[in-house]
Amino acid sequence: MLIVTYSQYSDLGLLYAMVKKVPFYKGKKEYNKAKETKSIAFSGAIAIIFIASLALIISSFFIKNLAPNTINSLRVIALIIILQQIFFFYQNHLKVEKKFLMIGKTLLVYSITYFIFILILIIKFRLEGVFFASLIAYAIVLFYIFKKEKFKFKIIIMPKKVLQLIRFGFPLLTIGIMSIFLLSIDKLMIIKFMDKVQLGYYSIATTLSWIIYFIPQTISYVMLPHFLERYGEKEDKLYLKSHLFQPTSIISYLMPVVMGLVFITVPVAIYYILPKYIAGIMPAKILICAIFFMSIIVAANSFLITINKERKILLLQAVSIMLAIILNYVFIIRGYGINGIAIATAMSYFFY
């Protein structure tokens, strides 16, 4: 499954470049450039994933120390990652076209199909059944997209422009990876220095914080194409002022209400439904408060990306990651346990 998970980054930033450039070109009314960028990004991403898939299939014939079902799974994965990359491309296409309802529908179709076929196939095929279910789900959701949207892209072989898009999009890809790492440091430190029991308690806290963080993340997802298209109209930072402060104000007022409700209700729910996880209540409270700091910067991140200040984000992320590692380590060796890890994480989020 790790191959499937990490293959989503195989485009090397091409899809990120598309997401940034296409709305910008549309704002400037340069529709031909927007269309060409989509086709180049699609062609480059497909070429890269085909090479990776072919390498996986060829290598499967030379691996001797794996069971036959594992070898078969590798070959199925080689097909999955191709369909997955096409799916991700169309998800990003729908994003730049601001068809967010369609994005939701495609995710729902994939999730339901995947769940149904896992139930059908896992009993007979076990691990292979999981991969077959994923392959079928991607095939069905892509058929659904093609039938509903009816958009087409040309395969354009332009290596120089592909490399230009990779250079443009790679910092954005790095920002995405660094964000995941920053949000995962606390779990990694628990895995390294503590036991699975503590990780289990802490998982309650992280699950709740991720649920709350989904709200600003969704706002950011919707916001970025509007930011970029607006900036493309005049290329004036002041023109984006309302788009920067209004979402930040909404999040600043909305999040405390959501956090307060969760803060009050969750401990009671854990106490009665999951009494074995009572030790996770305090870290949950700390992380629920901490996620506020990550929530109010989503508009600022979109603004910095829009005006080509990705390096500032990367620098802040690098410093925040180092700070999180140091603080987590200090709190662990001083014996503060998972409560200390939650506090250290909150401090790193506040700095970021």
Structure tokens at 286: 């700390």
- 62 shares its domain with 114: yes
**CA-CA distance, 166 to 172, in Å (whole number)?**
10
Tell me, yes or no, whether 116 lies in a domain.
yes
- 253 shares its domain with 110: no
H/E/C letters for each residue in the chain? Answer: CHHHHHHHHCCCCHHHHHHHHHHHHHHCCCHHHHHHHHHHHHHHHHHHHHHHHHHHHHHHCCCCCCCHHHHHHHHHHHHHHHHHHHHHHHHHHHHHCCCHHHHHHHHHHHHHHHHHHHHHHHHHHCHHHHHHHHHHHHHHHHHHHHHHHCCCCCCCCCHHHHHHHHHHHHHHHHHHHHHHHHCCHHHHHHHHHCCHHHHHHHHHHHHHHHHHHHHHHHHHHHHHHHHHHHHHHHCCHHHHHHHHHHHHHHHHHHHHHHHHHHHHHHHHHHHHHCHHHHHHHHHHHHHHHHHHHHHCCHHHHHHHHHCCCHHHHHHHHHHHHHHHHHHHHHHHHCCCHHHHHHHHHHHHHHHC
Domain count across the chain: 2
Among 169, 3, 153, smallest CA distance to 81 is for 3
Structure tokens at 68: 């036959």
- 277 shares its domain with 213: yes
Whole-prediction pTM: 0.78
- State the pLDDT at residue 1: 55
Tell me, yes or no, whether 166 lies in a domain.
no
- State the pLDDT at residue 126: 72
- 189 shares its domain with 126: no
- State the pLDDT at residue 272: 80
Domain range for 70? 2-160
- 23 shares its domain with 83: yes
Tell me, yes or no, whether 6 lies in a domain.
yes
Identify the burial level of 227 via C-beta atoms within 10 angstroms of its C-beta, where 0-12 means exposed, 13-18 middle and 19 or more buried: buried
- 212 shares its domain with 343: yes
- 226 shares its domain with 79: no
The answer to whether 317 and 178 have CB atoms below 8 angstroms apart is: yes
- State the pLDDT at residue 315: 92
The answer to whether 267 and 204 have CB atoms below 8 angstroms apart is: no
Tell me, yes or no, whether 176 lies in a domain.
no
The answer to whether 76 and 131 have CB atoms below 8 angstroms apart is: yes
Tell me, yes or no, whether 177 lies in a domain.
no
Helix axis angle, 14-27 to 159-182, nearest 10°: 110
Tell me, yes or no, whether 78 lies in a domain.
yes
Q: Which residues of the chain have pLDDT under 70?
A: 1-3, 5, 235, 239-240, 242-243
Domain boundary among 114, 145, 160: 160
The answer to whether 92 and 19 have CB atoms below 8 angstroms apart is: yes
Tell me, yes or no, whether 174 lies in a domain.
no
- 256 shares its domain with 199: yes
Identify the burial level of 85 via C-beta atoms within 10 angstroms of its C-beta, where 0-12 means exposed, 13-18 middle and 19 or more buried: buried
- 212 shares its domain with 148: no
**CA-CA distance, 352 to 348, in Å (whole number)?**
6
- 202 shares its domain with 61: no
- 202 shares its domain with 313: yes
Tell me, yes or no, whether 238 lies in a domain.
yes
Backbone angles phi, psi at 276, to 5 degrees: -70, -15
- 216 shares its domain with 326: yes
